[in-house]
Amino acid sequence: MKRSSRASTSRPASVMTEPVDDKTPRPAAPRKRRRWLTVIKVLLGTVAALLALMLITVGVAVWILTPERLTPIVCKYGSEFLDADINAKRVELTFWSTFPRLTVEVEDLEVISRVFDKADPLQRSRIPPGADSLLSVGMFRLQSLSVRHGLACNFPH
């Protein structure tokens, strides 16, 4: 009985990148090309997934933060942050109609300072009417906000 000798190696031919012997060379270029295609596909898939996640997040935020929910939130936290009474008729986030910009629309905004509430009655009598009104706007739309060289505000305390 003759034992059969195996002429092939244990690795498949598609994995080999070096020639088995001088007669049968194997090219290495197709494997490198496949690797680059895989890397590009993974990168494009990751970018697409991140974009989809961002769109879904903004869409859900706009859907949840309806004007009926957003207006009291803006008035409450704005009043706490500014030490002023903030009243707004309507505050709305829009995204789909102004895509790709997120827009804030505010209707009938009024900001009244609470600084003069601490003054004594004599000082209050000397203050002209409406001096505590910091801002009164019928309607405005905030589409983009950028500060290039710094922002300084001087409000009396």
pTM for the model stands at: 0.58
Measured over the CA atoms of residue 9, residue 15, residue 17 and residue 19, the dihedral's sign is: positive
- Within the chain, residue ranges assigned H as helices are 29-64, 67-82, 121-126
Task: Determine which of 25-29, 51-55, 79-83, 149-153 has the lowest per-residue pLDDT on average.
Answer: 149-153
Q: Which amino acid is at 45?
A: G
Long-range Cβ contacts of 66-71 (<8 Å, 24+ apart): 67/91, 67/92
pLDDT band at 88 (very low <50, low <70, confident <90, very high): very high
In the prediction, which pLDDT does 157 show? 39
Average pLDDT over residues 66-88: 92
**Cβ pair 95, 103 in contact under 8 A:** yes
pLDDT band at 156 (very low <50, low <70, confident <90, very high): very low
Tell me the pLDDT tens digit for each residue of 33-47: 788 889 999 999 999
In the prediction, which pLDDT does 25 show? 60
Question: What letter does residue 54 receive in the DSSP assignment?
Answer: H
| pLDDT(126) > 90 | no
